[in-house]
Amino acid sequence: MDTQTLTSRPAATAPVVGMGATQVFPQDRYPYVVVAVSRTGHAIWVKPLKTVSTQTGHEPAGRCNGFPVWDHTYTDAEVKALVDQHAEPTKLTRRGDGRYRPVGSGELAFGLGQARYFRNYAD
């Protein structure tokens, strides 16, 4: 998923409960987990994961102009342990291009297969 751009065709990944997912913005990535899948796989529901920080025992991947840069791919154990239980699930539907997007959102895409957090606070 790291080399996948918003214009490339996504890999054919069948969603399953417990699978990591990543909300893809032009510069940032936010981690989610699949919590439900429709019978046909056309709709899935995801919950956000808690982002890693020094409070979760993690360190930034580096610094940019003195600001922390976080780049973390969640392990299976972290996906299970860091689910935000208080968050409401977000419904995503598979669009004609094969990408999953929230209902009512035309541009925002989710990648399936891994949960990743990337945030550069210098941007």
What are 21-49's pLDDT values in tens digits? 999 988 899 999 999 999 999 999 999 99
Tell me the per-residue pLDDT of 55-83, one tens digit each, with 9 for 90 and over: 888 899 999 888 889 999 999 999 999 99
Distance of alpha carbon 110 from alpha carbon 94, whole angstroms: 10
In what helix (H) or strand (E) does residue 81 lie, and over which residues does it extend? helix 76-81
Distance of alpha carbon 34 from alpha carbon 91, whole angstroms: 10
pLDDT at position 98 is: 84
Please provide the size of the chain in residues: 123
Cβ within 8 Å of residue 40, ≥6 positions away: none
Lowest mean pLDDT among 12-16, 73-77, 80-84, 104-108: 104-108
Integer-rounded Cα Rg, in Å, for the chain is 14
Mean pLDDT computed over every residue of the chain: 86
**For the whole model, what pTM was predicted?**
0.84
Indicate whether 6 pLDDT > 50: no
